Structure 1
Amino acid sequence: MPGNGSVTRSTLRQQIADALRDEVLAGRLQPGQEFTVKEIADQYGVSATPVREALVDLSAQGLLDAVQHRGFEVHAYSLDDYRGMIEARSLVTDGIFLRLVDGDGKATLEDPRTIAALAGVRRRGEEAERAAGAGDLNILIGYDLRFWREVSALYGNPYLTDFLHRLRVQSWVCAVQHLRKVTELKGSLWSGHTELVDALARRDPAAAQAVVSAYNRHALALLERLTAG
């Protein structure tokens, strides 16, 4: 059936995009590193069409840049870019926290379904904290991205959830190029995930905002130290 081929290609396109995003987050694809559609197609043993589509998708997400007549390269984010990401993330999360508490959103922290979802978010936070404490960057990134996606999903607006997730991926892409150069990260990575969940469970947006502000200061200070050499 024609539809099956379309679904398969779409799925393959997403799989390739996810795999390349993970390569960037793992530091195996470095900022400024160039590659062609053919090179990626050969690497994964697939045709050029889903690869080209995946690379265009990643370009739209800000992770790759198209290089005229040469292919694509990994986008190089600066420290100023990171500061801008932090500001944008904060504006979104502050609004989410306030509306979850005051009931002016699609979901509130008085809704039993939201309370149940928050328990799941906390479990993700616990896993992220364990990875942060152990200095395991690979595991931390996975759980941290899932944690924040689930936190933002509590509000019930998928557009905000997708926007914040994209910002967080970009933030990690910016940070990993420096964090991967550190041989020992144990004790250096932020691990306040459950503290944030507990503040939300208490319906205390000011405390939740304070946790996020402390996180942002910690992350920015760490990145500033690393970029300074």
Structure 2
Amino acid sequence: MISAAVEPDPIEPGGEDALAVALARAAAELGLELPEPAEVREGRVEFGVMDDRLVVVVQYRSDLRYRVRCRKQGAWLAYGVTGELGEAARAVAAWTGGADLEGTRAAAPFVGFNAWALDHEREPFDRVEVAWRAKIDLAGLPARNDRPYVRALLEAAHAQPRLRRLMPVTSHFMLWFSATVEWPYERVGYSVDPRPDGFVVRAGGKHVTTAATAEESVAVVVAHLPDEVGPAR
């Protein structure tokens, strides 16, 4: 899903707005025009425009790469990393100019997205389903590749119809479920703590069992759900 250019395009040292200035310069060199940033911080620029659209560019200082994330309809739908500032500018220009996911990828091929994002773009999911998809995607990012068991747990829980109707909540990778979609969350049933050597099921912090697989731990959670629960409200 993610591609990176071989030769990065460095940013000259500057103030807090150095990345924003460099992005605007790169866009101008390509004959593109970017909107005024909605928020600027050191190494981070956010552009918010019409149609609930948001795009964020973050500079990785360690190796001069640029991460781009695109948001619409309440969900982060696309993500990519590139070593070329001009490519990041192309992605920003496309997304803020109204391009859809496929149009943005055509303009900036390093930007990737999953099939569910296309479905959401065409017919938006509800907040609970968006939360599930976003958490599963986040668990699959390269920075999380050393914890595949976290994504395995999320996918196993999402596959269960009764759990999929509840709001997924995570804290330090532990997964629990809420009957409400907003804070303060209303905890329902057991929680699962995914670990390299097993999946620890807990009830109110008390150890219930340790399962060998994500599916087994989720089965325990489902078996002990209250009869009348969900969908999250």
Report the TM-score when normalising by structure 2: 0.30
Higher relative contact order (CA 8 A, sep 6+): 1
Higher share in strand: 2
Of structures 1 and 2, the larger Rg is shown by 2
Report the TM-score when normalising by structure 1: 0.30
Higher share in helix: 1
